[in-house]
Amino acid sequence: MPVFAGRSSIYRLSLISWKKLFQPASGPQSHLRPVLLPASTACLQDKPHPARKSFVAILPRPLKMPRMNCRDKILSPESLPAWRERARRSGRTVAVTNGCFDLLHAGHVTYLESAKQHADLLLVAVNADATVRHLKGPGRPLNSQDDRALVLAALQSVDAVIIFHESDATRLLETVRPDVYVKGGDYTLDTINQPERRLVERLGGKVIIMPGVPGKSTTALVGKMAP
């Protein structure tokens, strides 16, 4: 009977569990495929039956992924140039998008995941509170700029977040020099901010327009919550 060599114990495997153990590995745990060693070479072994070979199954320990603090993904204006330079030196492309992202919903998540497909790194620029009030009205934002940045930083598709206070993203784009500038919603290349477009194209980047998800918007959600 084969045996399983664990860290401190040996477990005899029934025929059923042995078969399950050696089914083809797939998915996120595929790196945990067992390794078969002849019992004669293993430090832990069962007494071999004279009519059959004996083996020991040794499972590697799960890989430990480093813990990530999403707050580390929130950049300041002072740390932004160094972040961009590290990306450039490592040969990774950068996409930039911007918006209010006031009440995060499925449309936002879908949009950001799609935007990430166009570059190695995705930087999300969040409108400051004063800018959101100017754009959306005195009742907005519902969440402060710091809270909105933190929620965005927790998304796997987002590599970095920065809060910007200007009325447009021209200054930010000039600092980042993105490979791709992604705009969402009902924009076209002719209706987006033209100084932003010309700047990105002059710096060698490209502008991509991505449509929003129909029926998904913060304004619609706020309307549903109104008494």
Position 109 in a domain = yes
**Domain tally for the chain?**
2
The CA-based diameter of the chain, rounded to the nearest angstrom, is 84
Strand order across the beta sheet in which 55-58 lies = 10-12, 3-5, 55-58, 35-38
The pLDDT value given to residue 58? 52
Helix (H) or strand (E) holding 89: helix 80-89
158-184 pLDDT per residue, tens: 999 999 999 999 999 999 999 999 998
Position 65 in a domain = no
Are 119 and 220 members of one domain? yes
Are 41 and 85 members of one domain? no
The two structure tokens encoding residue 151:
């929620």
Are 185 and 157 members of one domain? yes
Q: What is the pTM of this model?
A: 0.68
Are 38 and 134 members of one domain? no
Position 64 in a domain = no
- Separation between Cα atoms, residue 174 and residue 84, nearest integer Å: 12
What average pLDDT is seen over the chain? 78
Give residue 177's domain range.
70-225
Are 124 and 187 members of one domain? yes
Are 47 and 89 members of one domain? no
